[in-house]
Structure 1
Amino acid sequence: MRVKVCGMTLPEQLEQLGGMGVTFAGFIFYPKSQRYVFKGLTTSQIRKENSINKVGVFVNASIEEVLHMVDECRLHMVQLHGDETPKYCEKIADYVSVVKAFRISENDNIEWMVRSYMDMCDMFMFDTMGAGYGGTGKKFNWNMLKDATIGKPFFLSGGIEPGDEEKLKEFASLPVGKALFSVDINSKFEISPGVKDMAKVKEFVTNLNGR
């Protein structure tokens, strides 16, 4: 099962991820985030890292800014975590793979939420609804996805923590799990915002994939 570690800010930790079996590193290009990428990394350091797939996370940024960072940092994928419209997503998707994030609350109709983005994006992400645009560190009810026809590969995010490996394996075994592209982890694997507990990350990936 693929794993994305989001909110990377330290070059020495970024360099370790690929060797641990992590597939994606997420960089948050949102200045209001506690895990803002430029607190500890430069565009040059991100650009030079070739051992992992690099995902840029943006919140209501201009198209020009997103594409500039795609070029500057050699990003493989863009995750749009704000209020971006389908048309906006389509313009970005002309240049790079797009993951549109949806923040889920208890009464949402997931099929209705994703419908207008279906032809504009490459993948989706499902995260927990919070007061702002950042992560909440809380899970949403994964059962909401069980009977949904999603129609795209998706990332599962929101409060995933050490000890969730068996639950994730169970979810992946469901029919909807066939579309589970990657698990996304962040705050529950941190010592402080943007500083990961790499031992926890390694153990999680090992337990998830039986290595």
Structure 2
Amino acid sequence: MRIKVCGMTSAEQVLQLDEMGVEFGGFIFYPKSPRYVFRSMPRAEIKKIRGQINKVGVFVNAPIEEVLQTVDDCGLYLVQLHGDETPRYCEKVADYVGVIKAFRLREDDNILWKIKDYQDVADMFLFDTEGAGYGGTGKKFDWSVLKGLNIGKPFFLSGGIQPEDTDLLKSFAAEPVAKDLFSIDVNSRFEISPGVKDMNKLRPFVTAVKQI
């Protein structure tokens, strides 16, 4: 199972993730986030990060030109659109770089209706927990709302995943909907403080998840 660790603010920690075999490192380019990467790292430092890990930029309702410029300046592999971006917006960005469109879910959402207009314009989806703002909540949504669905596109599973969740992930991976599960996405539950990851929690978790 692939893993994305989001909210990275240190090149050294990104390289540690790379050594663990983590496939994706997320950098948040949303100024209101406590993990806004430009508070800690300039563009050139992000671009210099090398290795097998793929850099993902997280944006919220940013101007398209700003997104594309940041992709170039920081050497991003994918962008994650975590705001209210329209299908047309996603399509324009996807002409330049791979796009993950994030959806914040409530238990009463008609998920297939919510994603239908994005099927042809995003490369992947990400499902997160509905919250008051645009950032992650650190809370888990009820994954059972995805059971029985045919998402029809690779997706990331996010929302409050924590070190003790390996058995839950194993169970979810056995569900038919998980045929489209591309990666899990973790963040705040593996932190010492916003943007600073706890490697002592991540290492055993990554090892366990890689065995699912």
Shared fold per TM-score greater than 0.5? yes
Q: What's the TM-score, normalizing by structure 1?
A: 0.98
> Which residue of 2 is the match for residue 19 of structure 1?
19
User: Once the two structures are superposed, what CA deviation does each residue of 1:94-151 show, in whole Å capped at 9, x if it has no partner?
Assistant: 0000000000011001000000000000000000000000000000010000112211
Secondary structure of 2:84's counterpart equals coil
- Greater alpha carbon shift after TM alignment, 41-50 vs 134-143: 41-50
Structure 1 residue 43 displacement after superposition? 1.0
> Which letter does structure 2 place at the counterpart of 1:16?
Q
Measure how far apart 1:210 and its partner are. Answer: 3.1
Query: Aligned partners of 2:191 and 2:133: how far apart in 1?
Result: 20
Structure 1 runs of 4+ off > 2 angstroms?
Answer: none
Partner in structure 2 of residue 202 of structure 1? 203
Q: Tell me which residue corresponds to 1:146.
A: 147
Alignment match, 1:2: 2
CA distance in 2, matches of 1:80, 1:45: 22
Decide which moves more: 121-130 or 45-54.
45-54
The answer to whether the 8 Å contact 1:190/1:197 transfers is: yes
On the 8 A contact 1:166/1:208 being kept in 2, the answer is: no
Q: Which runs of 5+ in 2 are unaligned?
A: none
The runs of 5 or more residues in structure 1 that have no matched partner are none
Instruction: Kindly provide the amino acid, as one letter, of the partner of residue 120 in structure 2.
Output: D
| Letter matched to residue 96 of structure 2 | Y
| Deviates further, 37-46 or 16-25 | 37-46
TM-score w.r.t. the length of structure 2 is: 0.98
- Tell me the matched-pair count: 211
SS in 2 for 1:55: strand
Q: What aligned pairs does 1:1-211 form with structure 2 within 5 A after superposition?
A: 1-51=1-51, 52-210=53-211
Q: CA deviation at 1:14?
A: 1.4
Say whether the 8 Å CA contact 1:2–1:183 is kept in structure 2.
yes
